Amino acid sequence: MSAQQDIKRITAPDIRARKGGEPIVSLTAYHTHTARLADRHCDFLLVGDSLGMVMHGMQSTVPVTLDMMILQGRAVMRGSQRALVVVDMPFGSYEGSKEVAFDNAVRIMKETECGAIKLEGGRRMAETIAFLSERGIPVIAHVGLTPQAINTLGSFKAQGRSETEWDIIENDAKATAEAGAFAVVLEAVAEPLAVRITQNVAIPTIGIGASSACDGQILVLEDMLGLSDRVPKFVKKFAEIGPSIDAAVEAYAKEVRARSFPATEHTYAMRKKS
């Protein structure tokens, strides 16, 4: 048996069991090569619909299609061995009805072989979450700032900064847990509210701009590597790879123009006649 076959992939129940335990580590991934690098360190990799903005320069996640998510989900599955791979359901692929959501979630899981899907929404999506969970589709929920609702929200602004909003957001999180979600993402939620939700819901909370008290954390990989031009306040840049890439491309361009690349060691000589 190969070493790759010996590696047991983390599952949704494994993540669910981490409530209150060692913090859950997650990053987004859209490519085979970045998935391969992140896989050894992360508990789950999210093929996020943020790929629309990060990979394609879109202004929001709204235009992202199901085919785009499946294509990149396949790539991430090929690059990972250990981490649970979760694929976002894009805008318009699950809101119409629980049956539509089921059909599209099944397509994602069959065509990518991922281990779970993620969808945005709290109480309004509870019936759909229950319908999917009861039929063998593990679901991560997403409350607080929900980027797919940008046209309703008006801007990517933090949620729960007024206590009058707290009950609404907390009830959203509780509804997803009761419906069968195995974890819930809390995005751009005021820290005291994130702490309270983490204490009061039975499933792991995954913070992104929330609190270190959450049961886990997620960031967009390109944001934390310093590849994105603009990042939210909650992002810490753990590296500044952008300038390194720029310098490498500049050096390449100079050598090409100077005809110093490719050099002899980069070319193929003729075989000697026998």
50 is an annotated ligand-binding site residue? yes
120 is an annotated ligand-binding site residue? yes
14 is an annotated ligand-binding site residue? no
DSSP string, 17-82: TTTTSSPEEEEE--SHHHHHHHHTT-SEEEE-TTHHHHTT--SSSTT--HHHHHHHHHHHHHH-SS
Helix, strand, coil percentages, rounded to 5, for the chain: 45, 15, 40
Catalytic: which of 22, 134, 163, 187?
A: 187
49 is an annotated ligand-binding site residue? yes
Helix, strand, or coil here: 94?
A: coil
233 is an annotated ligand-binding site residue? no
Active site residue 163: no
Rounded CA separation 68/49 (Å): 9
Q: Give the residues across from 142 on adjacent strands.
A: 121, 185
What the block records as the tokens of 271 is: 């075989």
Q: C-alpha angle with apex 207: 34 to 163, nearest 5 degrees?
A: 155
Catalytic residues: 187
Output the known binding site for Mg(2+).
49, 88, 120
Output the known binding site for 3-methyl-2-oxobutanoate.
49-50, 88, 118
Output the known binding site.
49-50, 88, 118, 120
